[in-house]
A and B are shown apart, each in its own frame.
Chain A
Amino acid sequence: MELKINNQIVEAEAGELLLQVALRNGVDIPHFCYHSCLSIAGNCRICLVKVEGQPKLAPSCNLIVAEGMEVSTDCPEVQEARRDVMQFILNDHPVDCGICDKAGECRLQEYQVKYGEAEPLSLEDKHPKPKFYDLSPRIQLDSERCILCSRCVRFTQEISGSKQLGIVERGHSARVERMDQKPFDDPYSDNVISLCPVGALLSKDFMYQSRVWYLEPVKSVCTGCARACSIQVWRRKQEWRFNSFGDELNKKVYRITPLENEAINGPWLCNKGFDMHRTMSRERALTPMVGGVEVSADAMIKAARKLVSGAQNPAIIISAQASNEELKAAQAALTDKFTVYTRKDYGPSHGEVLEDDFMICLDKNPNGDGVYRIFGRNVIDNPLEHDLVVVWGDNLRHEDVAGARLICLGSFASGREKDREVFVPISTLFERSGTFTNFEGVDNRFEQVFEKPSSVLHAADFFRRLSE
């Protein structure tokens, strides 16, 4: 059907909301409480528009389109309504911008500058509410900043299903709360931080680490499970890198946020994904080793080649954390005498959610599908009887490899690097680019965030050089 928005003809499907149609056609109608994946709340009232023939302004988030509808989103009446509503929203809002992490990506700031009135409506004292409150060990709730849009509440009701958040008290005293006796331990809790349009729900991990305008996101993929969700990895912008204070802050991942991917995770991410940077910042194994002695990369490759050519019955255990590109490089490097085993190298840790109906997969590796497509499946079911085993990936289990000589590839320090014949330190998720194939066969590409340390190798390079 066709309708008019600001005198422009636009197309829409029956049953669509005017707000959706407008946004799709580049008409910016401000909105706080509306979210395309959540039920309609219609409580912020900033999205009011004028519909020709109707005496009252209508909230566009609850307005189903009709053939021939004529809507204005920028006439004086709508502009004045926006100014009025902004004044009410800011009525009790603490002027925290100077200390609030949300500054720079805050809808309230945006809309106030774009649509708001310079003068506040009220000169009354502001109404104090619980501030800097630990909603959970991960999330800080500031009820003074909260505009009660209920996105966080609706998320736990409708999306994650934990139903752990609600809005208590009537009228002016209303605030977001959880049950006192139960922590906010929803495994998807951190999504409310992304959902919150203001600085009411903030990540404690990211708190005060940096102003957001110094940071930029890099497109990456979470390696926490076989869903391989799209994420954004935030690093310091090139022009804002520090010249002093050493390199630590320039090589830091400040935070992880979800990247909307309709085919895989929508706009959501589980807490494990939000913690990817912590997963990746465990102690590294940085130096190639042969027989427990630190050597150069060349020396290590030489030793590895020697072992491989001398082996009668070598095997390789493939990592499901490896990218498709690396797997193909390994495949090209391996001779026919290699027996290839595949394994889900990472398992769930203690206390982790095993799997659920929403997003979390039982397989805690991002590229099991990629491994399967390239190598098929050959699971290790007894202790191996090989003279040489190349173990790719961090989770080595001794009973698998007793009696064999080992070439181990890994990123993180286990303390056992010196026990291997050859140890190959390899790059992490953030230090390379590549593609994973998730459990539904969808490819997801990740980009490099940082240069790898110079002593570390890319696994693909190692395999190429191994076969030279």
Chain B
Amino acid sequence: MTTCMTEKFDRLRKVYPEEMTSSLVLPLLQLMQEEKGHLTESDAVFIAEYLDVPKIQVKEALTWYSMLYRQSVGKHVVKVCRNIACSLNGAERVLEHIEKKLGIKAGETTSDEKFTLLTVECLASCGTAPMMQIDDTYYENLTEDSIDKVLEALS
């Protein structure tokens, strides 16, 4: 597993100028999270040792960025935007609907570990509000029906 990971690291490292090893902290954290789902301090140490940067630097980054998870998440992470344009267009109702549909509150994971529900800030989709992002994909102009369809398709 670790050799496979370091190979992936090596490939990503070549993208950046040689003197910019430190810049790889965030890309490597994201790469590891894609593989493992969430990250622990040991993962931060692994990356720090690979790049030869201070371990505390990677730990700080891991705790600071919203898209990095330190607790396990479900197979699909549902991120509902609650910022201003979405709120003006019914984000609260969207969230309520999803909470009811999945049977969990924002911040929680379903017991079958299929879905984690999170609230997030503006995703630059204000013209198509309300909206949500599940994993990588944006789902815009949400209605109760469209939400139901998406969630059912992913279950």
Decide if B57 is an interface residue (CB 8 Å cutoff).
yes
Decide if A399 is an interface residue (CB 8 Å cutoff).
no
Task: Say whether, besides A169-B63, A169-B64, A170-B64, A164 and B56 are in contact (CB < 8 Å).
Answer: yes
The interface residues of chain B, by DSSP majority, are classed as helix
State in angstroms the CA–CA spacing of A164 and B63 once bound together.
16
State in angstroms the CA–CA spacing of A170 and B64 once bound together.
5
Of A169, A170, A179, the residue contacting B41 (CB under 8 A) is A179
Q: How many residues on the B side are at the interface (Cβ–Cβ under 8 A)?
A: 12
Decide if A166 is an interface residue (CB 8 Å cutoff).
yes
Of B45, B56, B66, the residue contacting A165 (CB under 8 A) is B56
Residues of A within 8 Å of B59, CB to CB, are 166, 168, 177, 179
Decide if A180 is an interface residue (CB 8 Å cutoff).
yes
State in angstroms the CA–CA spacing of A98 and B66 once bound together.
38
Residues of B within 8 Å of A157, CB to CB, are 54
Residues of A within 8 Å of B66, CB to CB, are 170
A166 touches B56 (CB 8 A): yes
B41 touches A168 (CB 8 A): no
Of A163, A164, A165, A168, the residue contacting B64 (CB under 8 A) is A168
Residues of A within 8 Å of B41, CB to CB, are 179-181
Q: Which of B125-139 contact A (CB under 8 A)?
A: none
Decide if B55 is an interface residue (CB 8 Å cutoff).
yes
Decide if B60 is an interface residue (CB 8 Å cutoff).
yes
Decide if A212 is an interface residue (CB 8 Å cutoff).
no
State in angstroms the CA–CA spacing of A90 and B137 once bound together.
43
A and B contact pairs by CB, cutoff 8 A, 10 listed = A157-B54, A163-B54, A163-B55, A167-B60, A168-B63, A169-B64, A178-B56, A179-B41, A180-B41, A181-B42
A residues at B contact (CB < 8 Å): 157, 163-170, 177-182
B residues at A contact (CB < 8 Å): 41-42, 45, 54-57, 59-60, 63-64, 66
Contacts A168-B64, A178-B56, A179-B45 known; 11 new A-B pairs at CB < 8 A = A166-B59, A166-B60, A167-B60, A168-B59, A168-B60, A170-B63, A170-B64, A177-B59, A179-B56, A179-B59, A180-B41
